[in-house]
Amino acid sequence: MRKVLLTGSSGRIGQAFFAAYQESYKFVLTDLREPEHPIVDPHRFVQSDLSDARVAADLCLGVDAIVHLAGVPNPDAEFADVLPANILATTYLMEAARKAQVGRFVYASSAQTIEGYPVDRQIVPGMAVAPANLYGVSKCYGEALCSLYATQHGMSCVSLRIGAFEPADGPPLETKRDLSAWLSYRDATHLIDRAIQAEIDGSFIAHGISNNRFKRLDLTETCRVLRYAPQDDAFSTFPIPSA
């Protein structure tokens, strides 16, 4: 059973992934906030602030893979917020992973890295990043860091450009853009699992949306490389808004 360090484990995606795969991996969970429910063997929880450079080294010891979900996810975040949570924390964790020889680093990037493109333009592999806010800029930095550590240090990294992660039974999505970028809970957890398991050398950027009828991000390469098989479609799940 692989040992996986899951950062941001008390967030929505972290909780969903742990709940879906706690029988498949041995987890070290970490977050600023304690979990809502007790964590029992073989898993354990460590409360930590990853923006402290001294923290990451101990968390990475003996770990086979890292799923780095921790960070500020707010598109309206100021630089003072994204600097420690998204930039420093990712840098310290990546360096600790390199020193600990962690086999796979899965980085939670965001569709905000390309949000500067018109909403009617589909994003395909190889297009330049186009963030529309500092949060998106911080995620571009993380993708670039994965590339640096892959090319210069031989690490295996997968960046997941996560779209609109919302429950299927939640409030309707407000725009067609949100529908085209939707990522269901079921598809999100499957995508993370495939990012851990797939045979990848170097750095790969995956598109994290469901099998929506209209797709903000093209899924062809993500499905081929990761063997990702999304099941859900926002346009069949939610009412279609007028905007």
Q: Distance (Å, rounded) from C-alpha 207 to C-alpha 235? A: 18
- The pLDDT of residue 9 is 98
Angle between helices 185-197 and 12-21 (to 10 degrees): 70
Q: What is the pLDDT of residues 185-214, one digit of tens each?
A: 999 999 999 999 999 999 999 999 999 999
Catalytic residues, by residue number, are 135
Closest CA to 109 of 13, 220, 243, 17: 13
Residue 191, C-beta contacts closer than 8 angstroms, at least 6 positions apart = 160, 183, 206, 208, 222, 226, 228, 230
User: Per-residue pLDDT tens for 113-156?
Assistant: 999 999 999 999 999 999 999 999 999 999 999 999 999 999 99
Domains and CATH numbers, the chain: 3-237 (3.40.50.720)
DSSP 210: -
**Angle (CA) 33 133 234, round 5°:** 75
Please give the share of the chain, as a percent, with pLDDT higher than 90.
Answer: 97
CA pair distance 34, 82, nearest whole angstrom: 21
pLDDT of residue 243: 62
Q: Which residues contact 23 (CB under 8 A, 6 or more apart)?
A: none
